Amino acid sequence: MACLVDSLMEPLDKVVTVKLTNTIRYLKDELRKNDQRAAIVVDSRSFVTGVITVTDLLLAGDDNLVEDWYHSPPYTITPDRPIEVARKILNDHGNHQLIVVDARMKPLGILWDHRIILGCSEEEDEHATPAKKKPSQ
């Protein structure tokens, strides 16, 4: 069975999301409160526009805005993709997270590298789309 992104992603209600106009102070407070190391950055219409990580905050002042420090475009993936595709994207780009989005680029959650490394449990695999079998020879 193939494990899919949606079985390992952190859902949006457990992820920090900030706007471009939020201050770094606000972002730090939200990351601390939610024990997160990155936030999804959205525009005024709630479309994903980037990502900001704790590493990005090393030189940022508390009164700076998120728009001055975030990374765009972010690496994204849809929830119906196999985990192996996500692993390849992360490996190719040296990232620790992928933003999970719908077809319109609205955020659905984050897929963390450590979740991919730990992989799917048997229960999660049972709910995944079956992998195609190779024909017998």
- The strand pairing partners of 42, in sequence order, are 19, 48
pLDDT tens digits for range 84-118: 999 999 999 988 999 999 999 999 999 999 999 88
**CA dihedral of residues 10, 81, 69, 117 (deg, nearest 10):** 60
pLDDT tens digits for range 31-76: 999 999 999 999 999 999 999 999 999 999 999 999 999 999 999 9
Q: What is the pLDDT of residue 113?
A: 93
Instruction: Say which residues have a Cβ less than 8 Å from residue 55's Cβ, sequence separation at least 6.
Output: none
CATH topology of domain 5-127: CBS-domain (3.10.580)
The domains of the chain are located at 5-127
Confidence (pTM)? 0.83
Please report where in the chains the tokens 């692993």 appear, as a residue.
87
Between 137 and 108, whose confidence is greater? 108
Residue type present at position 79: P
Do residues 129 and 4 make contact, with C-beta atoms less than 8 angstroms apart? yes
Closest among 86, 82, 85 to 129, alpha carbons compared: 82
